[in-house]
Amino acid sequence: MATRLTAAVIGAGYWGPNLARNFRASAEWDLAGICDLDVARARRVSDSIGGVAVTADLGDILADPTIDAVAIATPAHTHHRVALAALDAGKHVIVEKPVADTRERGIEMVDRARQNALVLMADHTYCYTPAVLKIRELIDEETLGQILFVDSVRINLGLIQPDVDVFWDLAPHDLSIMDFVLPGGLDVTSVAAHGSDPLDTGKACIGYLAMPLDRGGIAHVHVNWLSPTKIRQMVIGGTKRTLVWDDLNPQQRVSVYDRGVDLALQSKETADSRAANISYRLGDTWAPALPEREALAAVVAEFAAAIREGRPARTSGDAGLRVLSVLEAASASVRAFGAPRPVETLVPEVQGA
């Protein structure tokens, strides 16, 4: 391997320490420093991983020519400003989800990265878990057949975030995973979002997203900060098999059910006669073995590989934009009392990125 790359972490709040620890532990990276306006907080993170430089001044990081890349784990509304500054300083960027607080700002970030020939990676961490990597592989191998529906539930008693509602806080996980595993990515043209703020906090604390898929399918997401029980489950139904991912069951996270409804289709038949040809399959269940591995280690390795190979990361800025497009349409739908709203597709120049 060539020499190691050098990174700095911006933001020492909830997620920054995990990024710092993984850069530090990676064979691909040197960790040059941690930046946080609260320098004492940065110092605590530094101490916990054996000591690296800390600073409260982003300029210190950006002016350091030995730093190849920055990881941005600041509040969402600052991503745009910090990322553009870093890209303009010639740094590759990985940015926590959501990539930006508006789709327009996300587009600007992606454009800037392309113009400067730098990698802009979305830290869609879940996509690098053994479970999601296996799900993507199973779908690629057509184990499930054509995808009929996706139902995702992510509920828990959660912190009511000061700056984002439950859609922007939690749904990026579900949406980025769908974008990663579905054959055509997160290719939805409209979304209906139903939000609820029953405690009058000023933002939705309960949210539902319904998105039609091709050929009559549907994707649905339920996110909730007010549930006393914790559920993290995604069901992906296919024509051949159906997969259930229960992330809170470490003994059997992913189950593939050879159960379902079969349709003996014949030419010229009507929907009624189709119904008559339905039969049920009650086959075996199979749960693939999954390694226990920290996803973030794979994230920082992929970031290094994308930089070295001059290619987009597997979870690229464009992937981040597709998530933002759905979130922005969801916000519009909430404002329209749940009426479906179109999801903007990427402009051609961006799609080529």
- The yes or no reply on residue 90 touching a second copy (CB under 8 A) is no
Among 57, 88, 201, 335, binds a second copy (CB under 8 A): 201
The residue within the footprint of a second copy, chosen from 27, 268, 272, 348 (CB under 8 A), is 272
Q: Which stretch binds a second copy (CB under 8 A): 54-62, 63-71, 181-189, 283-291?
A: 283-291
Q: Provide the minimum distance between the beta carbon of 217 and a second copy in the complex, in angstroms, as a whole number.
A: 4
Give the integer Cα–Cα distance in Å for 223 and 171. Answer: 7
Which 161-190 residues touch a second copy, going by CB under 8 A?
A: 162, 190
C-alpha 66/C-alpha 71 separation (Å) is 15
Q: Is 142 in the site for a second copy (CB under 8 A)?
A: no
Among 81, 136, 143, 194, binds a second copy (CB under 8 A): 194
Three-class DSSP category at 223:
strand
CA-nearest of 114, 121, 105, 175 to 317 is 121
When asked if residue 148 is in the footprint of a second copy (CB under 8 A), the reply is yes
Q: By the 8 A CB rule, do 236 and 138 touch?
A: no
User: x/- site string to a second copy, residues 304 to 343, per CB under 8 A?
Assistant: ---------------------------------xxxx---
Binding mask 220-259 for a second copy (x = CB under 8 A): x-x-xxxxxxx----x-x-x--x-x------xx----xxx
* DSSP-derived secondary structure letter, 288: -
Q: Could you tell me the smallest distance in angstroms from the CB atom of residue 249 to a second copy? A: 10
Minimum CB–partner distance for residue 66 and a second copy (Å): 21
* Amino acid occupying residue 210: A
Give the interface segment with a second copy, choosing from 5-13, 74-82, 91-99, 287-295 (CB under 8 A): 287-295
Compute CA distances 50 → 24, 35, 45, 232, whole Å: 9, 16, 9, 34
Q: Which helix (H) or strand (E) holds 135?
A: helix 130-140
DSSP string, 30-60: EEEEEE-SSHHHHHHHHHHTT--EEES-HHH
Give the number of residues in contact with a second copy, rule: CB under 8 A. 75
